[in-house]
Structure 1
Amino acid sequence: MSAQAAPAPMTIGDVLGLLRPDFPDITISKIRFLEAEGLIEPQRSPAGYRKFCDADVERLRFILTSQRDHYLPLRVIRQQLEARDRGEPVPAPAPAAGPAASQGAAAGAVPAPRAEAAARRPRTLVAADGTAGETAAVRLTRRQLIDGAGIDEEMLARLEEYGLVRRTSGYYTGEDLTVARTAAALGAFGFEVRHLRAVKAAADRQVGLIDQVVAPQLRRRDPGAHERAAETAREIAALAIRLHATLVSAGLRDSLGP
């Protein structure tokens, strides 16, 4: 009996098509970056083209899920992959919360205690160099931001023009990366960067209100005053975001019907 034919190798475009439904932000540049970091090693054709197999796609899913759902730095993901390669058990990353969970949050449902605590902590993002830190502490070059967000120079220029992202001391932050990724995703629905000015203006107004509330705490001289003010600001911000999501959900229900 003849041996079963091996599956045909996939191109990087094929892999992008397989991953994009679960990871809308994935780009060819991102896959190339992960290869350059040694996290994946697709074979090459004699002409130099990448040839991916099912194992490569599964490995990419593990990496992307670890980044998206657990904010793990690349060095930790690399250690986990090396352990898997040695045959050691490594728990698979848990999938992100499904649509039902998102709908519950949009409807104003009170999160569970663990989720409440997580919402109060500064979120950690993974920089292109594999390090992790608070979003404001992540430092990205212009090229890293463009590749990480899957945008081009022209779009980044528009984001900077409208004040949605800004470079500080020659670098961008993890927050800038999130803004750029979100703007790119909205672009698929026809949103232009200029349409996002109203969102930026609303965010600035909320920041101003929160600053007024925590200003008395910041003026105190006792130890820990700044930390308490930051904690208060994060709690207020989380409540404001929940309120905004609920109002948008209610407005859509009124305009679109039940």
Structure 2
Amino acid sequence: MLNILREEFPEVTISKIRFLEAEGLIEPQRTPSGYRKFTPRDVERLGHVLRMQRDHYLPLKAIREYLDAVERGERPAAPLVGRQSGPPPRDEVTVSRLGRAELLAAAGVDEAELTAWESYGLVAPLPDGHYDARLVRIARLVSELGRHGIEPRHLRATKAAADREAGLVEQVVAPLVRHRNPQTRAQAEERTRELADLATGLHSALVELALDLRS
């Protein structure tokens, strides 16, 4: 079962699957000796859960409610997460902010890990105490790096570099942002995304080149 899932989700672990079971996302049968028995239906449901977490950063509660409704024969609208370019359709649910418990569940991390990341400035709540849903992906990446021995304190430079790049992008688009024309402001948003993609690509290319030169 694990090998099947790892074809699409190479980072999945037994502990992750047991966590999802504890959260009620799956209910595998048990053999008389107590071993878990995963059916093809269980594997398919796990795939849906992992895919919705990976692609949409959804909290586990939203995923569970959606999949349960599907299995009851209903046709619910797929829940969405993150900021949308326009108002969502009336039958869709948009999640842009999460509570602390929702962030922990969606990222699959514990309280101690999140507290440590906050102390190093890698994750921070919004002024109202909630968390931007995009932090789910960041939390997962920090967690995966930790499994390879890269601790939060090692990532402070990465966060500082990201802040500097964001500041540079803001300087470039500032003249467009100050315009009252909605079309010009929309161009500013598009330019911001474009520059962010370029900065991310440059960072990735520089890291790959540095590693190749050292090998």
Task: Name the TM-score class by shorter chain.
Answer: 0.7 to 0.9
CA distance in 2, matches of 1:143, 1:25: 21
CA distance in 1, matches of 2:55, 2:115: 29
Picking from 209, 213, 226, the partner of 2:168 is 209
Picking from 209, 218, 222, the partner of 2:181 is 222
Matched residues, number = 193
Tell whether 2:121 aligns with 1:134.
no
Residue 48 to residue 133, structure 1, CA distance change in 2 (3 Å): same
CA distance in 1, matches of 2:164, 2:212: 26
Give 1:160-199 correspondences, 5 Å limit.
160-168=118-126, 169-199=128-158
Return the structure number with greater relative CO, CA threshold 8 A, min gap 6: 1
TM-score normalised by L of structure 2:
0.73
Picking from 19, 22, 29, the partner of 2:19 is 29
Q: Displacement, 1:237?
A: 0.6
Identical positions, percent: 42
CA distance in 2, matches of 1:70, 1:164: 21
Q: 1:25·1:185 contact (CA, 8 Å) conserved in 2?
A: no
Tell whether 2:185 aligns with 1:237.
no
TM-score normalised by L of structure 1:
0.62
CA distance in 2, matches of 1:151, 1:71: 14
1:93 corresponding residue in structure 2: none
Give 1:48-59 correspondences, 5 Å limit.
51-59=37-45
Partner AA of 1:132 in structure 2: L
Partner AA of 2:51 in structure 1: T
Give 1:76-91 correspondences, 5 Å limit.
none
Q: 2:107·2:140 contact (CA, 8 Å) conserved in 1?
A: yes
Residue 139 to residue 20, structure 1, CA distance change in 2 (3 Å): farther
Residue 159 to residue 242, structure 1, CA distance change in 2 (3 Å): same
Q: 1:30·1:148 contact (CA, 8 Å) conserved in 2?
A: no
CA distance in 2, matches of 1:146, 1:63: 16
Partner AA of 1:29 in structure 2: F
CA distance in 1, matches of 2:23, 2:79: 14
Give 1:44-83 correspondences, 5 Å limit.
51-69=37-55, 74=63
1:107 corresponding residue in structure 2: none
CA distance in 2, matches of 1:151, 1:70: 17
Residue 224 to residue 48, structure 1, CA distance change in 2 (3 Å): farther
Q: Displacement, 1:42?
A: 3.1
Partner AA of 2:177 in structure 1: L
2:90 corresponding residue in structure 1: none
Structure 2 unaligned residues grouped into runs of 5+: 85-94
Q: Deviations over 1:22-55 (max 9, x none)?
A: 25256232333353xxxx4434679998653343
Structure 1 unaligned residues grouped into runs of 5+: 1-14, 87-129
